[in-house]
Amino acid sequence: MVQVRSVLCAIALAVPVGVFTQAPADSVSPRPKQLHDRAIVVDSHADTTQRLIFDEAFDIGKRNPNGNIDIPRMREGGLDALFFSIWVSSNVSPVRRP
């Protein structure tokens, strides 16, 4: 149990470091850039579905001033596939069938 906590703490501390220390695309050295360009890049969790449904001003085809997902950014980042997710309130009860 102590080892599991230690691993979880290490991951929790490493994630922000990884996110906030990412270099801009222009400063990536050639070899990692080549690897990224050859790889199939998949984002396995995008919470953009709510914006597509509820935000009438949101256009996924245009660069948006807020948020992280739009088609221009996906193309620039070399994203090949994306799984859209949707949040469902925890107070939604399951449908009961007779």
Q: By three-state DSSP, how is residue 81 classified?
A: strand
Distance CA 36, CA 31 (A): 9
Assigned token pair, 46: 């995008």
Is 82:74 a contact under the CB 8 Å cutoff?
A: yes
What is the pTM (predicted TM-score) of this model? 0.57
pLDDT for the residue numbered 35:
93
Q: Which pLDDT tens digit goes with each residue over 55-73?
A: 988 999 999 888 888 999 9
Q: Which residues contact 68 (CB under 8 A, 6 or more apart)?
A: none
Q: Which pLDDT tens digit goes with each residue over 74-85?
A: 999 899 999 988
Distance CA 24, CA 4 (A): 33
Q: Which residues contact 23 (CB under 8 A, 6 or more apart)?
A: none
To the nearest 5 percent, what fractions of the chain are helix, strand and coil?
Answer: 45, 10, 45
Q: Where are the domains of the chain?
A: 31-87
